[in-house]
Amino acid sequence: MTTRDAIIDALQALQPQHLEVLDESHMHSRGQETHYKATIVSPVFDGLTAVKRHQKVYGAMGELMGRIHALAVHTYTPDEWSAQGVAPDSPTCRGGSKLGG
């Protein structure tokens, strides 16, 4: 199983109505399955602050967070996603990976 597939499996705990996980490792120095972007649309996020939403994502990810260098997280309620429909581009990596990338 790829790291991307493991992330998708872990994020199912959030009961997403829309889930997109992109491996963006190719945009960085070594491209070794270290950089990801997750767009998650779930009613679980209703009424939660951005910090609480991210905490839910990190909680669902568990030990997987130790296997990657960067995860760009974009969380939306179904209503927010209806209005926006697209997540922003991921930031440029600044390096410093413990995995060398």
Whole-number pLDDT of residue 62: 93
Q: Which helix (H) or strand (E) holds 86?
A: none
- If one counts every other C-beta atom within 10 angstroms of the C-beta of residue 12, the result is 10
Does a structural domain hold residue 15?
yes
Q: Identify the domain containing residue 31 by its residue range.
A: 3-81
Does a structural domain hold residue 60?
yes
- CATH code where residue 62 lies: 3.30.300.90
Whole-number pLDDT of residue 92: 63
Rounded Cα gap, residues 9 and 98, in angstroms: 24
Does a structural domain hold residue 36?
yes
Does a structural domain hold residue 59?
yes
Total domains in the fold of the chain:
1
Does a structural domain hold residue 58?
yes
Does a structural domain hold residue 97?
no
Residue type for position 96: G
Whole-number pLDDT of residue 68: 86
What's the whole-model pTM score?
A: 0.81
Does a structural domain hold residue 96?
no
Residues 6+ apart with CB under 8 A from 55: none
Show pLDDT as tens, one digit a residue, over the chain (101 residues): 889 999 999 999 999 999 999 988 776 656 577 788 999 999 999 999 999 999 999 999 999 998 888 888 999 999 999 998 888 776 665 555 444 44
